[in-house]
Structure 1
Amino acid sequence: MDSIKINSNRLQPGLYIRLPVKWNDHPFLLNSFKLKTQEQIEIIKHLGISFVYLYPDKSDNQPLPPPVAQETTTEDEPEEKPEKHQLSDEAQKLWDEKQQRIEKLNAYRRRVTRCEKEFNRSLAHLRAIMNKIRNRPEDAAGEATKLVDHITSTLLNEEDVTLHLINNKSQETEDIYFHSLNVAVLSIIVGKAKGYDVSKIKQLAMASLFHDIGKVKVPRTILKKQSPLTEPEKNYLKQHTRYGVEIAETIEGLPEEAIIIIAQHHEMMDGSGYPEGIKGDQIDELAQIVALTNAFDSLCHSNITGDQKIPYAALSYLYKQKHLYNNENLNILIKYMGVYPPGSLVELSNGMTGLVISVNSNQLLHPSVLVYDASVPRNQAPIIDLSDREDLTVVSVVTPGKIPEKVLEYLNPCARVSYYIDSGD
């Protein structure tokens, strides 16, 4: 239902309203919210806000009837803003709380920026490694070891891990690098949760980075085809595991474990995979992890637009196909991605729409969400840490097709969902 413009004298608790002023001109955390106390109403009046927009469908109460002598104040008349010292103790408390949230938000944005820089640095490093494999394969393993050491150092030293959505801007020609880095990050998380030691996790990371290396020998027309592959094309694509082993065997110093994973990362637990059709414990335990994380990222980034799944739907799909994967690994992936994985579009309990941008392993039901607010510039868009908000929860995951275009443009969900790890402040 559309909003209704009402005089501030008609406000009472239980009404869901939107303030007609800039976000930084009032002490409330959001421009749109449900009134809870009479003190909030007095603050609105004290700020000289003569009218608000009411959303009846989101309200628990009706506005007060208009006074007999309706005030003549209009939105065009200037309002004198009171001095800060005139504000009530309640208003001052809200201003202080809002300032703390702003400072926390700025610190969070700095963390995300740092995380994006680390992701792009790792991406560039991986690109350089792939180039060395083509030109000087004898140097590739050493460079890959440096990259593995870098991306595992933070994760292995911290218990509390945050997985961030990365808004990357690189060319689609680098899809293989994005995919390999995503698979490595997610595989490391699973391996750590299983209690693997550092050496084993680094083997897993190394193999994840190289698992699709054989695709360099597959025609680009097949790799980038945006319609279903023919049977001959599918068979050609399946050869990438064999090609990958051939290339890996030329890389001096690459662990034997990595070569096994490259060969087996498309084998399924029920024997329906390829190239050998082995099943269960016949499949290397690390290859079982890469098979899962590879499948998840591939579901999110299918070349066929209609087959692409949002992260939430990809996890649900994998769970329905759980006979194909090691169930312990699947449960770990679901746990650490969260109920609402980064990249998910969600509706909050206050009716606002948002984009999940990070999830903490200790707060899986309470991700950080960037919310749509037309009154706030996109670069200052509110980011709400739901772990700090007892009054606000995720109601549901929303598909992009059900969200207005202007909201999608504001939230800017990534066509390619990439992740990176962060810990602490």
Structure 2
Amino acid sequence: MASIKLSVERLTEGLYIKLPLQWTDHPFLLNHFKIKDNQQIRLIKNLGVKFVYLLPEKSDTKPLDPETPAETLSEDESQYLDKQAEKLWQEKQSRINRLKNYKRKLQRCEKNFNRSMAQLRAIIGKIKSRPVTAIQEAEQLVEEMVDALMESDNLALHLMNDNQESEDIYFHSLNVAIMSMMLAKSSGMPAEDIKAIALGALFHDMGKLKVPTAITRKTTPLTEPEDNYLKLHTKYSLDLANLTEDFPDSAKPILSQHHELLDGSGYPHQLAAANIDLKAQLVAVVNAYDNLCHPQDPSKARIPYSALSYLFKNKKEQYNNDFLALLIRLLGVYPPGSVVQLSNQQLGLVISVNSESLLFPNVLLYDPTVPSNEAPILELEDSDLRIERAIPPSKLPEKVYTYLNPRIRISYYFDPDD
């Protein structure tokens, strides 16, 4: 979008402008915005800049004529302006401090995520040769996560960086376990049930280790024999759990029933609503969401917003509606990982949910005037902006894609101190 260099003397309400300053060098929330009142004009002039960049296409009016007499301020007006500027600076500094705290929180969350992922890798590596040890270690991992989950009253899912090479099964299993645990807590389940759900979710796809990788990694449509072979993974998962007496019976239905659907169209036994274990119904909702985001054919992957919308609009007959509604509340209307366009046309990446106001998540903003590692995180609820639409990452210009770094694989983790 073309911009025009404009003298600050020609500013008026309704113009959409961009400041020729770094984000940290002015008191405004954003580097570009629509001027809403005369006070903003005075604050801009008080910054000492001689010009701004005008974006005519986004403006509601035209600049003042060049001959317009310059406005003079009385001493009282000047003092009031200074106080308003100081107030804005204090608010912005508070926002910057919150941003620093938030990024520290994300780093802590990232550390916990990487530790859990490493533990899960070790567990899966032992599942065939030392199933008793693997299940004991899994129970310990689950115990730690559930204890952290239950100790905090204010949890949120955060988008994780997962740039290391790895098998999809690790990410999928941990993702489903994390979301299932939080969903179970949101539904009021006790800690013991949450532990059973977490353990079942961690192991729900372990049977795929016995299915040839030529099938599990195939990106073209499976033949009927291949599809039948893949569907055996529910039986294989249960077989692995039965190798030891230590695997809790309450978690076993999750392994065998997470592909059963309420309308009886699922597998392996075409069970209908009342005959499907409630814990399995919960994990089935989360499993369906993650599989839509990460199908075997990457070209068919849905963005998080689209995956949730698809389940809500098209699969209500197949999945527990209470758990589906809770999942939307947990992930938000625009789940972490969604690339969004704001009402000022700025682009951003949703990195966490505002559970009190689902339409206003926390968004990492694309701003080429700010280094990507210092990109501001905007709490939409505290701004006058809103989300207009979600955008597939593939539609982003290369420089925006590089800056926002949207995740190919959407992984979540929670911070117990959130």
TM-score of the two chains, using structure 2 as the length reference: 0.93
Alignment of 1:172-251 (within 5 A): 172-173=166-167, 175-251=168-244
Alignment correspondent of 1:350: 344
Tell me whether 1:118 sits opposite 2:112 in the alignment: yes
Tell me whether 1:394 sits opposite 2:394 in the alignment: no
Give the conservation status (yes or no) of the 8 Å contact 2:10–2:68: no
Tell me whether 1:285 sits opposite 2:278 in the alignment: yes
For residue 335 of structure 1, the aligned residue among 329, 342, 353 is 329
Alignment gaps of 5+ in structure 1 = 71-84
CA displacement at 1:354 relative to structure 2: 0.8
Match of 1:88, SS state, is helix
Give the conservation status (yes or no) of the 8 Å contact 2:186–2:326: yes
How far apart are the structure 2 equivalents of 1:381 and 1:251?
A: 50
CA displacement at 1:137 relative to structure 2: 1.4
Match of 1:152, SS state, is helix
Alignment of 1:16-415 (within 5 A): 16-67=16-67, 88-173=82-167, 175-319=168-312, 320-389=314-383, 391-415=384-408
How far apart are the structure 1 equivalents of 2:317 and 2:270?
A: 14
Match of 1:270, SS state, is coil
Alignment gaps of 5+ in structure 2 = 71-78
How far apart are the structure 2 equivalents of 1:248 and 1:4?
A: 67
Give 1:286's aligned amino acid.
Answer: K
CA displacement at 1:57 relative to structure 2: 2.3
CA displacement at 1:87 relative to structure 2: 8.2
How far apart are the structure 1 equivalents of 2:354 and 2:25?
A: 32
CA displacement at 1:128 relative to structure 2: 1.2
User: What value does the CA root-mean-square deviation take over the aligned residues?
Assistant: 1.9
Give 2:12's aligned amino acid.
Answer: Q
Match of 2:364, SS state, is strand
How far apart are the structure 1 equivalents of 2:108 and 2:358?
A: 22
Match of 1:196, SS state, is coil
Call closer, same or farther: CA 1:69–1:338 in 2, change over 3 Å.
closer
Call closer, same or farther: CA 1:286–1:86 in 2, change over 3 Å.
closer
How far apart are the structure 1 equivalents of 2:401 and 2:256?
A: 40
CA displacement at 1:6 relative to structure 2: 1.2
Moved over 3 A (4+): none
CA displacement at 1:253 relative to structure 2: 0.5
CA displacement at 1:257 relative to structure 2: 2.1
Give 2:300's aligned amino acid.
Answer: D
How far apart are the structure 2 equivalents of 1:24 and 1:277?
A: 59
How far apart are the structure 2 equivalents of 1:169 and 1:401?
A: 18
Alignment correspondent of 1:79: none
CA displacement at 1:361 relative to structure 2: 2.2
CA displacement at 1:94 relative to structure 2: 1.8
How far apart are the structure 1 equivalents of 2:108 and 2:55?
A: 39
Report how many residues are paired.
409
Alignment correspondent of 2:76: none
Q: Bigger CA drift: 57-66 or 120-129? A: 57-66
CA displacement at 1:44 relative to structure 2: 2.1
Call closer, same or farther: CA 1:295–1:310 in 2, change over 3 Å.
same
Alignment correspondent of 1:77: none
CA displacement at 1:196 relative to structure 2: 1.1
How far apart are the structure 2 equivalents of 1:380 and 1:36?
A: 27
Give the conservation status (yes or no) of the 8 Å contact 2:179–2:286: yes
Match of 2:127, SS state, is helix
**Identical amino acids, percent of aligned pairs:** 52
